[in-house]
């Protein structure tokens, strides 16, 4: 835009205005004062009307100035500008805060917004499990088929990823109450920090750009809810938003497993990764050849009743799931009776599936109790005096059954209890310095999306 074609001083003549209009071919000229502020406009029609009234070509253009002109600023919404063009306006000046002309918009020269910087976000839910834990360990289902049933609930890990213009890597974690900084990916991988699990995932993904990553979760660490897989899933989901060829759900779950179990060497099973990525209530079957996720279709009324009958209890004690899994692995290798117990819980998993689908929930409560009794015998590290006291208190006061979520040693208990006895059970659990956490079932798994940086 050549500004001299569109603006003239208020001291200029009508003849000067016609010269500008002939050059810009828009039939309009904008009039400025001594401070270069746009104070009005004059159209070809306005000027001709004044000439018919008797003014001369050498008179001041200020005689034709229309100070009720349309203009916009940098904060004007694009939609509003388009509406003005739709009202037969041929040119709209963009003025700064001092009313100086920045540029002129026309219907043919009104560019779309430039591409803004993109921020990727993701959230992924934790899971509660009903049965089959231990059978999702590779060394078990390589010899014997495994199966678990779990459900995602409304507690999440959240991740936000923003690209940088340099190679620096910056990570903030509300869960750890800590941050991490490195000059580049190579520098990051070589550093020892509390972010080792995240760094193992970054080594696998190998991003070719610097970034800032913000992490937070709705639940405590080492809770037995599959949290490490959940946070990895959320982070991978963010990186997936910057890909053209996006990873599938199965690929994301496998990447989370590889990062945690293979590269970072944390012992554990496969169910957490599949549960958080796929979401919903699933029967997950583990075989040497493949792992299959079977979504369970359960009537809404059954789910509502199930939710009313479940109590999620935080024991307020953490656990070392990797150490428990290592101990269980030794027991599985050395003792046939432990393998037999896991097999019993796999068979029980299919019975739990039937109870869920048919809505026989009291039976489900008793099945949870049987599954927990079996699981306690996997390893001496799964339960302890405090956990036994919490469980026995719940059962004594009305719960039909329950189980400790995750590997064991601490974290959350899930109890099944008739609503008429819930108040008494909850009171007795709180007396033991535990916390009751409300939740809803979550049908969605990993969700990721992009937003413009404002």
Q: How confident is the model at residue 334 (pLDDT cuts 50, 70, 90)?
A: low
pLDDT at 130 over 70: yes
Is 205 buried (19+), middle (13-18) or exposed (0-12) by CB count in 10 A? middle
Residue 292 to residue 286: CA distance in whole angstroms: 7
Average pLDDT over residues 159-182: 96
pLDDT at 5: 84
Q: Is the pLDDT of residue 206 over 90?
A: yes
Strand partners, 452: 118
The CA distance from 7 to 42, in Å, is 10
Asked if 354 contacts 147 with a C-beta cutoff of 8 angstroms, the reply is: no
Asked if residue 407 has pLDDT above 90, the reply is no
pLDDT over 90, % of the chain: 73
Burial profile 54-76: b = 16 or more Cβ within 10 angstroms, e = fewer: ebeeeebbbebbeeebebbeeee
- Written as one string, the DSSP assignment of 418-440 is -HHHHHHHHHHHHHTT-EE----
pLDDT above 80 (res 11): yes
235-276 pLDDT per residue, tens: 999 999 999 999 999 999 999 999 999 999 888 899 999 999
280-316 pLDDT tens trace: 999 999 999 999 999 999 999 999 999 999 999 999 8
Task: Kindly name the residue from 272, 314, 327, 369 that is annotated as catalytic.
Answer: 272
What per-residue confidence (pLDDT) applies to 204? 96
E strand map for 164-247: 169-173, 178-182, 211-217
Least Cα distance to 373 among 349, 405, 402 occurs for 402
Residue 338 in tokens: 């432990």
- Is residue 133 within 8 Å of residue 269, measured between CB atoms? yes
Cα–Cα distances (Å) from 424 to 389, 427, 437, 438, in that order, read 16, 5, 16, 16
User: Which residues are registered as beta bridge partners of 148?
Assistant: 284
Candidates 306, 314, 316, 315; CA nearest to 416 is: 306
pLDDT score of 26 more than 90: no
Mean pLDDT of 148-174: 97
In the DSSP assignment, the letter for residue 262 is I
pLDDT band at 321 (very low <50, low <70, confident <90, very high): low
326 belongs to the catalytic site: no
Residues 257, 197: contact at Cβ < 8 Å?
A: no
Asked if 32 and 39 touch (Cβ cutoff 8 Å), the reply is yes
Angle 180-226-145 (CA atoms, 0-180°, nearest 5)?
135
Picking from 212, 254, 207, the residue whose alpha carbon sits closest to that of residue 233 is 254
Residue 429 in contact with residue 313, Cβ under 8 Å? yes
Task: Please give the residue that has the higher pLDDT: either 398 or 335.
Answer: 398
Confidence at residue 307, expressed as pLDDT on a 0 to 100 scale = 97
Computed over every residue of the chain, the mean pLDDT equals 91
Does 134 or 279 have the greater pLDDT score? 279
Between residues 208 and 322, the one the model is more confident about = 208
Domains of the chain and CATH, by start? 3-105 (3.10.580.10), 119-436 (3.30.230.120)
């Amino acid at each position: 835009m050549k500004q001299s074609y569109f603006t003239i001083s208020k001291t200029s003549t009508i003849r000067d205005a016609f010269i500008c209009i002939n050059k810009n071919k828009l039939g309009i000229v904008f009039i400025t004062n001594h401070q270069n502020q746009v104070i009005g406009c004059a159209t070809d029609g306005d000027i001709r009307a004044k000439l018919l009234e008797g003014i001369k070509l050498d008179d001041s253009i200020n005689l034709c100035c229309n100070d009720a002109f349309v203009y916009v600023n940098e904060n004007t919404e694009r939609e509003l500008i388009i509406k003005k063009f739709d009202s037969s306006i041929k040119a709209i000046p963009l003025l700064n805060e001092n009313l100086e002309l920045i540029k002129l918009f026309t219907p043919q020269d009104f560019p779309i917004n430039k591409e803004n910087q993109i921020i990727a976000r993701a959230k992924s839910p934790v899971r509660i499990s009903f049965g089959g834990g231990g059978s999702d360990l590779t060394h078990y289902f390589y010899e014997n088929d495994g199966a678990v049933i779990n459900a995602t609930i409304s507690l999440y890990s959240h991740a936000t990823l923003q690209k940088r213009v340099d190679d620096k890597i910056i990570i903030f974690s509300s869960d750890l109450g800590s941050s991490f900084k490195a000059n580049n990916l190579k520098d990051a991988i070589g550093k020892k920090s509390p972010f080792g699990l995240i760094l193992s995932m970054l080594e696998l993904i190998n991003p070719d750009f610097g970034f800032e990553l913000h992490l937070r979760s709705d639940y405590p660490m080492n809770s037995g809810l599959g949290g490490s897989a959940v946070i990895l899933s959320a982070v991978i989901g963010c990186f997936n938003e910057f890909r053209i060829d996006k990873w599938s759900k199965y690929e994301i779950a496998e990447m989370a497993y590889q990062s945690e179990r293979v590269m970072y060497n944390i012992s554990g099973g496969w169910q957490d990764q599949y549960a958080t990525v796929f979401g919903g209530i699933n029967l997950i079957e583990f075989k040497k050849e493949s792992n299959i996720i079977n979504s369970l279709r359960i009537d809404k009324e059954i789910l509502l009743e199930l939710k009313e009958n479940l109590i999620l209890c935080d024991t307020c004690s953490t656990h070392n799931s990797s150490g428990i899994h290592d101990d269980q692995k030794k027991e599985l290798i050395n003792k046939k009776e432990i393998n037999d117990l896991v097999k019993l819980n796999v068979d029980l998993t299919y019975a739990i599936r039937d109870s869920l689908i048919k809505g026989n929930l009291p039976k489900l409560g008793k099945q949870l109790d049987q599954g927990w009794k079996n699981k306690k015998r996997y390893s001496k590290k799964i339960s302890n005096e405090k956990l036994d006291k919490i469980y026995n208190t719940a059962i004594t006061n009305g719960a039909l059954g329950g189980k400790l979520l995750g590997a064991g040693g601490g974290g959350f208990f899930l109890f099944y209890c008739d609503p008429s006895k819930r108040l008494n059970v909850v009171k007795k659990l709180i007396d033991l310095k535990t916390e009751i956490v409300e939740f809803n079932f979550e049908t969605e798994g990993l969700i990721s999306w992009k937003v413009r940086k404002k």
